[in-house]
Structure 1
């Protein structure tokens, strides 16, 4: 049966750390299993280094020790250290890299970011493998249906990026967005003069607060500059202000 396994299945097993047995090794393991007293045995050969690289599963924890990795070595930590404008591209590169590894391609360039995974050769087992790889890299809890919900690398990367880097906008901007949405969905605003006046008054009051905060910031800045300025710098500043 193993001799008839397709190359894709062999490659998947190898990535998981499973090493092929020769016929002689397999028969010897079978003979040992038949004479053993244990109720459940598996004749399998592992490459400990590859198993560790992919994360030691609980089933093998007693036979293969996991190497503790510094958090600074994880992909998620490197992602967090990137400038915000580079993070989306980093996530897409991760998805394409892991997808290429699952399919046995030499690198991410073989993965078209807009081509559906199923068209690229993914089946259900490959989908699970990709999800597990992305879960290990990002630390996110990902659904089993990830590949089918996000059917191409671009869509999947956008989803992961959203999960990894939620909007860093200040809460006040989010509140303003909500207010704008409420106004756009408010029926009767065009016909209700009193309501429009109330909304306009509140908005102007908010703008006044923003303007006052801006003036206060400028005043603090000017005060700091004048406090440490030389007389010549003070006169130059006044000339500039009153031009």
Structure 2
């Protein structure tokens, strides 16, 4: 009960409070010594609580937690770099190991070997408070903003690792090594392919525009003009229009 934030009352204080309650004949009364920092986190782990929301102590704790999460939304650079050089299957295995280590710490196990990757967290004894603690540990380790019900929505280490990997590399957020790997693939495909002159022109213009943007040589106005101007025209141009463009702009 102490772990959940419900503390034992000091006997003399408890008896005094109970005597006052009886004397006042309150129709409904709850007497408790509550550590709101622990109790509110566990009680609201899976859903908001209208019962607690208006309590000043709980509101302060919730505001502080929201601010902390907002400041900690970037994926750990060290973790991303370590994962980016691994194949996808090994990335997942690395994250499974991270989750098992943190789960073992929360449960107080001496060895990570006691945590089976495919076994449900509930079956291992996780309750709401432990679920919050594991979520917070993984948030600190990864920098990801994880949902409050993370442990129950993704019930074992394997399912949880897949979510972590998806979020770490969301929107192509890969490291420099991964970008270079993608460029190597592009170069290989260009070498082995034999596109016609029109396709070569389209590809060349797109690559030149990308390089200019990457090097910071393109202002917002020129970028917008490119998207709505030359590049936009080339995307929708007919073969004859492309040939005219090549002759006019490239001296061919």
TM-score (norm 1): 0.44
Q: TM-score, normalised by structure 2?
A: 0.43
Q: Which structure has the bigger radius of gyration?
A: 1
